Amino acid sequence: MSNFNACHFETSAVRGASGGDEKTGAISFPIYQAATFKHNGLHESTGYDYSRLQNPTREELEKTIALLECGKESLGFSTGVAAITACINLLESGDHVILSEDLYGGTFRLFNDIYRIYHIEATFVDTSKEDEIIKAIKNNTKVIFVETPSNPLMRITDINMIVDICKKYNFISIVDNTFLTPYYQKPLNLGIDLVVHSGTKYLGGHNDVLAGFIVANNEELISKLRIIQKSTGATLSPFDSWLVLRGLKTLHIRMDRCQENAIKIANWLKENKNIDKVFYVGLKEHKGYDVNQLQSRGFGAMISFRVKDKNIIPKILSGVRVISFAESLGGVETLVTYPYTQTHAEIPLEIKEKLGVDEYLLRLSIGIEKIDDLIKDLENVLEE
């Protein structure tokens, strides 16, 4: 098979790392639904022994994700949270991590509830502000973990600033790139050590698979993460690997259509009398707009907005017909989520109040539907 590494992103996404199955010529890479693989003799492995260690379908996906993120290697996990957990397992008891304070509630729960008992310390700060990061540094700090854009308020962190701090203090830098995907943002190219994804979202793209990924260029980190992956066992199944491979083929088309719709909806929401504030990276007045322009080539399709009267929230959530009231994001369908009781339910009330993740906030994951239908659906619940 030809090497497609020199191709543009769109071509690499469609063709995958290998351009199809070398052995059979199958255009759609096969699902190797096997748990174990036979050996021809002593010390004669085919390269595959047991699917927890590696499976041909997962290997093809991992190589494709690495190619798209401009990384040396990628590791596929059963969920995004499993990928983040593997990153945490790089730490030792007594280590300290600095994280974005505005981030997915499941990440907060991992650090605050699960790993705290193992004496891994976490400090949550506004990582868009360098002085807050510097103030949070301790003698035992080992990692800075950021979401950019953040969830759900779409804060933008300067990735170059994070890289500079981590190099100065010899920290590991981690960026959750779920919202923008490698199509719009490539943190590894800016010097970040590890990129994580919830592959459940845009990479899969159809709300039918759970997956997570870590991508890296540092061979020492890759080696450690491989040991963690095979030892803890939360690896991605062959079928789910195939679903993500299929989803990646249309990633660029979906992202562009979702973003096109998102820009129109964000501007429409801005003018609605019932909306107090719109959080979308693609609005020029967004606080992080200029930084995002420097480090990415797109805005994504995630929007949060605050209503003026919280009493209309139930009407919105029960009244939408084209848009679905559901958790998650990144699929072809437009979803509306209520972070206060859903994605960020685990975050303590005082932190939610500080961030503005309150009873007035809604989050939209914009899909690929006809824009007229989406806006009409919002009109029906916001303007009656």
Active site residues: 52, 104, 176, 201
Sequence letter at residue 16: G
| Burial label, 170 (beta-carbon count in 10 A; 0-12, 13-18, 19+) | exposed
Instruction: Verify cis geometry, omega within 30 degrees of 0, for the bond prior to 152.
Output: yes
- Which residue in 342, 262, 347, 351 sits closest to 303, CA to CA? 262
Sequence letter at residue 103: L
State residue 251 phi and psi, 5-degree precision.
Answer: -55, -50
Continuous segment of H or E residues that includes residue 70 = none
- Which residue in 171, 179, 153 sits closest to 100, CA to CA? 153
N-to-C CA span, the chain = 59
Contacts of 187 (CB under 8 A, 6+ apart): 159, 175, 177, 195
- Max CA separation in the chain (angstroms): 74
* Tally of residues, the chain: 384
Sequence letter at residue 94: G
